[in-house]
Structure 1
Amino acid sequence: MIPEGNSQANIDRFLGFQEEYDRYRPEAPVLVTTLLKNYLGAFPSLVVDIGCGTGLSTFLWEESAKAVIGIEPNSDMLDKALEKLSLRNKDGVASNISFAQDYANNLNLASESVDIVTCSQSFHWMEPVSTLTEVLRVLRKGGVFAAYDCDWPLMLLPSIETRYKHLVAKADDIVTRLLPPEDRAHKWRKEELLSRIQANKGFSFSREIVFHNTEPCNAKRYIGLTLSQGGIQTVLKLGTPDLSQDISEFQTAVEKYFNGRTMEVLISYRMRLGIK
């Protein structure tokens, strides 16, 4: 039984494609640790990364905190994170990172025990009111909360970005047509998070931060990243061929653009930050 306020459909949305997610999604940039340590004003004793997925945003903190905990409710994503942690620990050196299967609004952590709480590409899948209440409970005075996301699609070419948006929109339409409401994932608007933080009297300071990063990308990665989007994955898991032609045309356009090249692609991030 999952805690009240959580959605089984939201959790299940990420079942079955942890390998593709981990292989193609952007890693969180190191700048995140620099920004948040500066706002904290100290080297963090404990960082908690909620909705951590396969750990792409958790391992980032390995050298930037005394202890790091990744929290993830989805068993497939969590298993991948634990597999990666096991590989890092194979030399027998204990890591300061651990992972736990838990929920954003029901953390098994002591009150005022955490210096920094992060959500990377994940807060919009969490019930916002109960999650912020729980975040404030576990944060110490002066602790930092930061939810950050990159903008989709990654910047490339107008015609390809338009195809990307068409694919995602068509996938959402197919899911709405084929799945009953109770089986569909629900996404909260990212644009409303800052106002939610500002309206919560538990935070003494808040702001939005925009920054950029670059990562190497080729056709295989750009296509894989696109197909790792949850709505498209839901359609593929349903077994319907409704997206087949669109995916094929998208792949052809991306492969033609990259033409065998690997390029640095710009990734834009938006962080909504609150200090207790």
Structure 2
Amino acid sequence: MNIPENNSVSNITRFNGFDELYDQNRPQPPLLVADLLVNYLQKRPKLVLDVGCGTGLSTMIWSGKAADIIGIDANYDMLGRARIKLEQQPVSGISFQHGYSNELPADSATVDVVTCSQSFHWMEPVSTLQEVQRVLRAGGIFAAYDCDWPPVLNWQLEREYEHLIDLSERLLEQYGDPEQRAVKRDKSTHLQTLQNSGHFRFVREIVFQHTEPCSAERYTGLLLSQGGIQAALKLGAPAAHLESEIGVLKAMADDFFRGGMINVLFGYRMRLGIK
């Protein structure tokens, strides 16, 4: 795979093969995200780039709020799912392109808003923010936002969810190929990274929340949509214990939801910078 410098093949291929599962279970960011950023911009955006858009969940919230919105992703599976959805239900002004965070398909000083939803921690931050600075207009906004895992619901389920994430990481550390290991940066450093870049006149963190209905199947699906879980399951025999433990979570979820739907709470953290 030929990719630009400062991009990781392992980070890109980590999300191969489970685009449908990801799209069916991951939360769609609340419309509040677009409303907040439009308010900070103080005008209707002409061009929004949603970088690391995945299956387009975060791109679609801009429908009707900007003239043109381009979802950009380096993973062909994720991007393909986004394009399929757009073909099935066209949305005016939205398109998807293959690309990289440090080689954006936009001319200099032409973009009003650049967003990274659940994705900035997979990107090399220095070259990415240099490219963001290039494409943003004066007064333009960069916003990296993520939700906390697991969603807020029940402490026993959350404890088991966290245990499985830790187990998958230990398995990858012990049995995974070090040369193919993805590099995941600490999200808690995003605000400092924006400040240290020198590209923004104002930075801040915004915390908000959103609820979505959830079933037992979806709760388990949320876990399975995690890249670390999928990477560990691909290890084969060493993942047998993980598969067994996932069965425990599924049984716990079935018992808790009892065939019904319950609203779960997703906490979000946005770090933004104004050029």
TM-score, structure 2 as length reference: 0.97
Gaps of 5+ in 1: none
Unpaired runs of 5+ in structure 2? none
Q: In 1, distance between residues paired with 2:138 and 2:123?
A: 23
| Structure 1 position 221 matched with structure 2 position 218 | yes
Map residues 101-116 of structure 1 onto 2, 5 A cutoff.
101-116=98-113
CA distance in 2, matches of 1:107, 1:35: 23
Give percent identity, aligned residues only.
Answer: 53
Deviations 1:17-72 (A, max 9, x none): 00000000000100001100000000000000000000000011111100000000
8 Å Cα contact 2:233-2:243 kept in structure 1:
no
Residue 157 (structure 2) aligns with: 160
**Alignment-derived partner of residue 50 in structure 1:** 51
For each residue in 1:170-225, what CA deviation from the matched residue of structure 2 results, as whole angstroms up to 9, or x when unmatched? 10111112222110111011111101111222200000000011101010111101
For 2:251, the equivalent position in structure 1 comes to 252
For the residue of structure 2 that corresponds to 1:38, the secondary structure is helix
Give the distance between the partners of 2:35 and 2:251, measured in 1 at CA.
Answer: 39
Shift of residue 112, structure 1, vs aligned partner: 0.5
Q: CA RMSD in A?
A: 0.9
* Number of positions where the alignment pairs a residue of Structure 1 with one of Structure 2: 272
| 1:254, distance to aligned residue in structure 2 (A) | 1.1
Say which of 166, 174, 183 aligns to 1:186: 183
Kept in 1, the 8 Å contact 2:126–2:197? The answer is no
Equivalent in the alignment of 2:264: 265
Matches within 5 A, 1:29-178: 29-89=30-90, 95-178=92-175
With normalisation by structure 1, the TM-score equals 0.97
Aligned amino acid, residue 187 of structure 1: K
Alignment-derived partner of residue 23 in structure 1: 24
Letter in 2 for 1:249: V
Following TM superposition, by how much is the alpha carbon of 1:234 offset from its aligned partner in structure 2, in angstroms? 0.9
Distance 2:231 2:192 in 1: 30
**2-side partners of 1:163 and 1:28: how far apart?**
25
* One-letter code aligned to 2:101: A
Question: CA offsets per residue over residues 232-272 of structure 1, 9 Å max, x none?
Answer: 11122232323121111111111111111101111110000
Residue type of the alignment partner of 1:105:
N
For 1:87 and 1:50, how far apart are their aligned partners in 2? 22
